[in-house]
């Protein structure tokens, strides 16, 4: 017996036939003797429809009214799922955000969960009643409905799991787990049975969009074991079918226990084409010059990522290259152009056709030579590295966008991540 | 300056363009210096969509979950209207049923409003903020969302008007008032500027479907002045454009004040084709026989209306004729057939092709001869009266359904209700 939070996204809740499938899955998990809470999204398309109304009402809509409008999508699916479960003979009831309550702080439309009152919830769950909770919503101290921002249902599920001290938070998505890399790029990509929170964050933030980043951060903070799995996976099988996201300690313990499992140096390869490169030429090489470049960008909330400074050009001058999110390129150039005099540069060169490819793995903390392997593998195939950035568990390189898929395949093989043929 | 509750139905709220029209109308009323609360229905079709989901989930759906699902329709429109008003520069906010709260008792799906907490509401309204309240919903003592049953938004509006002691409750519908009879039957039907609650109830219960009966009963109990008007009426004109529904006393006072206004003997003519006639032949004419007929029907919640007993047939036997709602005919016959032995009748004859035509008017309380005029007018045109029923302010006759329109026209003229030509 375990206490499990199950989360279903909009695709799984789109229409009564799918809601019945979800209910059948829950019934099976309940039948195994587990205590279950379920967090649901709105039907696919419904939130867009409601947001459309709000935007039509006013481009500068009132954020509190917006929340009351869009939160209704999850209210509907939670009620429908609860009644479907009851019709199947599974005791269930819906608990809206304001009913539990799920208290939130911060601003409407992007609120953060502060506390979840579990008194009634735990009473119901321990009595064998499935608690169906709409994701994405909560209630402010003002008594008004709040929402967490798009994709917030993953975060709701992790927060509920933390509050009820669940053994696991199972997040059902349209993929059946986290892979060593995008299987559309590398046919022999392997599904990972376990990754750490840190690895998941690096894989997510550089492009493997499976879970909302905020939900992984919350899971890490609250030590919630999260499983990513597909609604098509068979829930009756013994072993967990998806990818388990856990702490470093649990990963270590699992490796120690399972003699057949070897700690991989590299867990996965991520690629992100949403980067753009900016080079500022002939910046005066004096104290404060860099601050005068990055200060105005930071003020505009533009996230500067990789930075390289080419020293040793003409005496007293330097070129500065860095990346920004592709969506912020035009705005960045505009801001820098306005600072031309105060920075005192010569030219602004930009290149939106770049990609960031990263190798990620907690294993590299204790191994040298990861970066060297990476550079050699890329150089052997003639792939030019424009910039490098490293963290404790990640090495990223900036390359020509056209070479993204090639680089991912090369690195996937170089770190021996390919599945055995036929596996 | 007055305190006004405005209520808009689903047709008025169907889509953002119409919601903007509603907001403009509210803005005008606010601009005249009035304190305003608004009660709204869901977008036309939305409640049906949600009910459809619920029925698909389970024919025997959980009523509390059903309420959480279907109440979302009004939640959406109240939020959208509030944000539209704000965008137009009119201060506004939505107050959901559980937020005020609007407390309800009784059963889910057909709850009754017990109390409305007006503390926050009056504070907001007196500060010039429009309170937008979803109709049809409230909250139970259990903290769960309740609904009042279909068409309950009229009742919500009257209850809010009673709670805030509004000067008037304006109910916007797709007709511009209450008419002396159905204008589709009588071209020269006149719009009434004023009717009493009792008259409205009789007109509504016999077929003039403008307001929910419950809402009129509540208005009568709480002495809420209700105006029925069309969303197409011009709100800028001086006089009230619709029909005002008031107490007997206000009607008397108005007549005393306005020398040009004469108390009509008859206020209106209503017709109802949803009746069916049942005749039971050769019932033993002994004490208890009638009870053995109507007892079982009452137990089955079948509303028996007009009753005639033909006495003086064969000695010791009688025929009993009565009407039931057309929808209950089959069930009624089934129940009676099962009681054949205990009642001891000969035959059951039924006729679903009958209609009830009624003349309604508070004025008849103090006038004799209303029924005589009616019978003569009908007899002059050869219309056969099968049964008669009277109340203090109503005389109803049962006639052949095919003669309904003719009877209505004849009576409309007989009581001089026709508008002047060209009026």
List B residues 15-54 in contact with A (Cβ-Cβ < 8 A).
16, 19, 50, 53-54
Helix, strand, or coil (residue A194): strand
Q: Domain with A196 in it: what CATH number?
A: 3.40.1160.10
pLDDT higher than 50, residue A423: no
For A286-329, strand residue ranges (E) read 307-310, 317-325
Pairing of strands B243-246, B194-196: parallel
pLDDT tens-digit map of B136-166: 999 999 999 999 976 799 999 999 999 999 9
A262 domain-assigned: no
Interhelix angle A370-380/A404-414, nearest 10 degrees:
130
Residue A98 sits at the chain B interface (C-beta within 8 Å): yes
Distance CA B36, CA B4 (A): 5
Is B83's CB within 8 Å of A50's CB? no
Structure tokens at A30: 């309940």
A421 domain-assigned: no
Could you tell me the sign of the dihedral formed by the alpha carbons of B42, B47, B53, B58, in that order?
Answer: positive
Residue A411 and residue A357 in contact, taking contact as beta carbons nearer than 8 Å: yes
pLDDT tens-digit map of A9-68: 999 999 999 999 999 999 999 999 999 999 999 999 999 999 999 999 988 899 999 999
Distance CA A31, CA A29 (A): 5
A420 domain-assigned: no
Helix, strand, or coil (residue B139): strand
For residue A16, the chain B residues in CB contact (below 8 A) are 53, 56-57
pLDDT tens-digit map of A226-247: 999 988 766 566 667 899 999 9
A422 domain-assigned: no
Whether residues B237 and B279 share a domain: the answer is no
Distance CA B207, CA A264 (A): 78
Q: Which of A390, A183, A362, A137 is nearest to A265 (CA)?
A: A362
Distance CA B153, CA B155 (A): 5
Quote the domain boundaries for residue B312. Answer: 269-414
Is B61's CB within 8 Å of A82's CB? no
pLDDT tens-digit map of A65-75: 999 999 999 99
pLDDT tens-digit map of A292-310: 889 999 998 898 988 887 7
Kindly give, in sequence order, each residue whose CB lies less than 8 Å from that of residue A169, ignoring residues fewer than 6 positions away: A4, A5, A7, A157, A158, A160, A161, A219, A224, A225, A226, A227
What pLDDT, on a 0 to 100 scale, did the predictor assign at position B366?
A: 75
Position with higher pLDDT, B418 vs A316: B418
Strand ranges of the sheet holding A3-8, from the earlier edge strand across to the other edge: A92-94, A130-134, A35-40, A3-8, A168-173, A226-230, A243-246, A194-196
B95 domain-assigned: yes
B87 domain-assigned: yes
**Closest CB from B65, B94, B143 relative to A65:** B94
pLDDT classification of B342: cutoffs 50, 70, 90:
confident
Whether residues A80 and A199 share a domain: the answer is yes
Burial B191-204 (b: 16+ CB within 10 A, else e): bbbbbbbbbbbbbb
Whether residues B93 and B72 share a domain: the answer is yes
d(CA A105, nearest CA chain B) in Å: 18
What pLDDT, on a 0 to 100 scale, did the predictor assign at position B313?
A: 59
Burial A52-91 (b: 16+ CB within 10 A, else e): ebbebbbeebbbbbbbbbbbbbbbbbbbbbbbbbbbeebe
Is A72's CB within 8 Å of B76's CB? yes
Whether residues B252 and B330 share a domain: the answer is no
pLDDT tens-digit map of B360-383: 998 887 777 888 999 999 999 999
Distance CA B359, CA B381 (A): 17
For residue B62, the chain A residues in CB contact (below 8 A) are 82-83, 86-87, 93
**Closest CB from A53, A87, A93 relative to B58:** A87
**In the predicted model, what is the mean pLDDT of residues A323-342?**
92
Q: What pTM did the predictor assign?
A: 0.85
Q: Which of A2, A12, A34 is nearest to A135 (CA)?
A: A12
Whether residues A230 and A276 share a domain: the answer is no
- Among A193-207, A325-339, A355-369, the range of highest mean pLDDT: A325-339
**Closest CB from B19, B72, B78 relative to A75:** B72
Whether residues B68 and B189 share a domain: the answer is yes
Is A57's CB within 8 Å of B80's CB? yes
Is A99's CB within 8 Å of B61's CB? no
> Of the residues A228, A257, A286, which one is the last residue of a structural domain?
A257
């Amino acid at each position: 017996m375990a206490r499990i939070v199950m989360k279903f996204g909009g695709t799984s809740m789109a229409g009564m036939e799918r809601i019945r499938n979800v209910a059948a899955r829950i019934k099976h998990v309940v039948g195994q003797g587990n205590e279950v809470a379920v967090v649901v999204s709105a039907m696919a398309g419904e939130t867009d429809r409601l947001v459309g109304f709000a935007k039509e009402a006013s481009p500068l809509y009132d954020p509190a009214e917006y929340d009351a409008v869009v939160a209704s999508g999850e209210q509907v699916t939670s009620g429908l799922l609860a009644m479907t479960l009851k019709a199947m003979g599974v005791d269930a009831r819906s608990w809206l955000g304001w009913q539990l309550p799920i208290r939130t702080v911060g601003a409407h439309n992007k609120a953060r969960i502060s506390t979840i009152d579990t008194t009634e919830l735990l009473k119901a769950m321990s009595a064998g009643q499935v608690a169906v909770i709409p994701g994405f919503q909560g209630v402010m101290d003002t008594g008004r409905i709040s929402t967490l921002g798009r994709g917030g249902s993953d975060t709701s599920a992790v927060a509920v799991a933390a509050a009820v001290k669940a053994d696991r938070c199972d997040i059902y998505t349209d993929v059946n787990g986290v892979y060593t890399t995008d299987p559309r790029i590398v046919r022999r990509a392997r599904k990972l049975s376990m990754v750490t929170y840190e690895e998941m964050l690096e894989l997510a933030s550089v492009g493997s969009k499976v879970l909302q980043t905020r939900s992984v951060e919350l899971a890490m903070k609250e030590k919630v074991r999260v499983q990513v799995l597909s609604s098509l996976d068979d829930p009756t099988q013994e072993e967990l079918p998806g990818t388990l996201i856990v702490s470093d300690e649990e990963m270590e313990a699992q490796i120690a226990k399972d003699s057949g499992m070897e700690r991989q140096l590299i867990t996965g390869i991520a690629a992100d084409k949403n980067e753009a490169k900016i080079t500022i030429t002939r910046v005066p090489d004096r104290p404060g010059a860099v601050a005068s470049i990055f200060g105005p960008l930071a003020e505009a909330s533009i996230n500067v990522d990789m930075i390289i400074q080419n020293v040793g050009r003409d005496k007293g001058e330097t070129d500065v290259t860095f990346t920004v999110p592709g969506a912020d390129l035009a705005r960045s150039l505009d801001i820098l152009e306005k600072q031309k005099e105060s920075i005192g540069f010569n030219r602004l060169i930009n290149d939106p056709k770049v990609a960031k490819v990263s190798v990620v793995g907690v294993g590299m903390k204790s191994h040298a030579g990861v970066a060297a392997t990476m550079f050699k593998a890329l150089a052997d195939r003639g792939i030019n590295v424009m910039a490098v950035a490293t963290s404790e568990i990640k090495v990223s390189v900036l390359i020509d966008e056209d070479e993204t898929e090639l680089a991912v395949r090369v690195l996937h093989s170089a770190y021996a991540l390919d599945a055995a043929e036929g596996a």
